[in-house]
Structure 1
Amino acid sequence: MIESIKPYLILFISRYQHDISVYDDTFLKNTITDRQAELGLYTDREYLNYLENNIEEAAIFKGRLSNSYSEFFRNPLTFAYLAQVVLPELIKKKKNRKEKEIRIWSAACAAGQEAYSLAILCDELIDRFSPDIHCRIFGTDISTDALDQARKGVFQSPTLGKVSLKRIQSYFTRDDEVYTIVPSFRECIDFSVFDLLSENGSCPPASIYGNFDLVFCSNLLFYYKAEFRNRVLEKIGNSLARGGFLVTSETEREIVTGNYYREVFDNSAIFQKR
C-alpha cells in the first residue's frame, strides 16, 4: 500500500534528475502499485530501495509514465468529423484565400500512427477538393525510441485494425504481418523531439513559426496535474492559427472546455480556438 508519493518525487529528482511531480497523483499511485505487484515488492520501503539502486528499473518506471500506445484512426468518430466536415471546409477556405499549405501538428505522436492517419486523410481529401494544396505535418514526442520507429514507418498488424483494405493497398507495403508506409509518403511528415511541458517555445522548432490549422493532442492531458494541463493547452493555443482546431480524446473533453477553446460539435473531442 502506498502511504505517500512524496518519497518517490524526492527520489526521482535527487537521484535521477527527473521531475515526476507534473503527473496526476492518482496516475502516479496506480503506476507505482502496478509496478510493485509485477515485482512482488509490496511496501514503499522495498520498492523505493529497489528504485534507488536500479537504474534500469527507474527507466522502466519512467517509461510507464509515457503513454506510447496508439493505433491508426484510433477514434473513428473524431476522424469521421474531420473527414466529412472539418478538413473539407478547411481545404475550401485555403483554396478561396489562395493559400497553398495546411499545417498540422501531431503532439505526443508516439510511433507516428496518428500522424500517418492524418496524412492519409489529408492526401485523400486534397486530391478530391484541391490538388494544388499540400499538407505539412509535424509529429513530436519526448521518446526518441518512438520517434525512430515513426520515421521508419514500420507497423504490426494489430495497430492497423481500423485501416481499410483500400488504404492499406495505397499507402503501405506488406511483408507477412508487417506493414511499412510507402517511402514517398513518409517524407511528408517531420518527426522531432519536443517537450510540451518545456517553457522554451510554443511549437516544434522544425515548424519555425507554428501557425497550425490543426493540432492533435490526444490521450495525454489527463496524465498531468491541472496546472500542467493548462500550460499545455495555452502552449497549443499560442501555436494555433486564428480559428485553428484542437483535437483531443473524448475522455479529455471536460479538461479542454473553457480553456481558450470552444467545442465544435456536441459530444465531440474537436475544439476551435476562440
Structure 2
Amino acid sequence: MTSPTATLLLSCPDRRGLVAEIANFIYSHGGNIVHADHHTDFTRKIFLTRLEWQLEGFDLSREQIAPACEQLAGSLQANWQLHFSDTVRRLSIWVSRQDHCLLDLLWRQKAKEFTAEIPLIISNHEDLKEIAIQFGADFHYLPITPDNKAEQEEKQLQLLRDYQIDIVVLAKYMQILRHNFITRFPNIINIHHSFLPAFVGAKPYHQAYKRGVKIIGATAHYVTDELDAGPIIEQDVVRVSHRDEIADLIRKGKDLERIVLARAVRSHLQNRVLVYGDRTVVFG
C-alpha cells in the first residue's frame, strides 16, 4: 500500500454495536477502511479491534486524529493506540555472544522484510562488534556484573534516549532486566528458547533433553517483571527424537528462534499486536 494509513488498536468492555460505532467514527470523517479485524474474549467480556484506514480523503489532520480517538475511547471505556504507516520505528537490538538472531534481524531489515531503523546494538560482551560495524549500527559494550547492574542499566536507558529508540529486542541477551528498567522502558521483546510456559529460565534445551521431550519450541514475548512470563506474541515448534543429543536440540532450536523472533518483531512493527492482561491478540 503506497498511500499512508492510520491504524487504531482498541480494547474495551464488550457490548452490542461496537463494530458499527467505531467504524462509523472513521466513516463520518471520510475515511476508507482497508483492514478491519475484531475479536471478543467472551470469558473476560472484552472486545478487541484493529482498524486501518487511508489518510487520503480523511477530513481530520494527523494532529486532530488522536484527540478524536481519545474522545471515542473515553465513551467506550477503552484502551487504545494510534499508529501511522509511514512512521519508521527505531530498534535497538541487545545481544550477548550468540549471533544467529542478530544476523537474522539485520538481514531481514536490509532486505526490507520489515520497516525499521536499527541504529543501536548493545551487548555485555564484545564478540559481535564486527557484525554491528558491517551493518552500519553503533555498538556499545556495557559489561554487566552484580555490582554494576544498576549503573549499567542507567547508561543503557540514556543510550535509548539519545538514539530515540522505540523498541528494544533482546536477541539472546542473557541478562535479566530489573524492575526499575522495565518500568521506565516497557517496550521490550524477548526470544526464549523453549515453548513457554515449559522450561522457563536457563538452559531449557538441557531441561528438555533430560525430560525426553518429542517437541521443542521457541517463544517471543513482551518482557515483564516475571521471568519469561510476559504476554506471548509468537511461538513455533519442531519435532525431535530419542536419537537427538543436546547439540541437535540447540541446532534445531536456533532455527526456530530466528523465525519466531522475526515474526514477532514484524507483527509489532505492523501494529498487529494488542496486549490485554497477560495475553495478546495478534491480528493477521
TM-score scaled by length of structure 2: 0.34
More strand by share: 2
More helix by share: 1
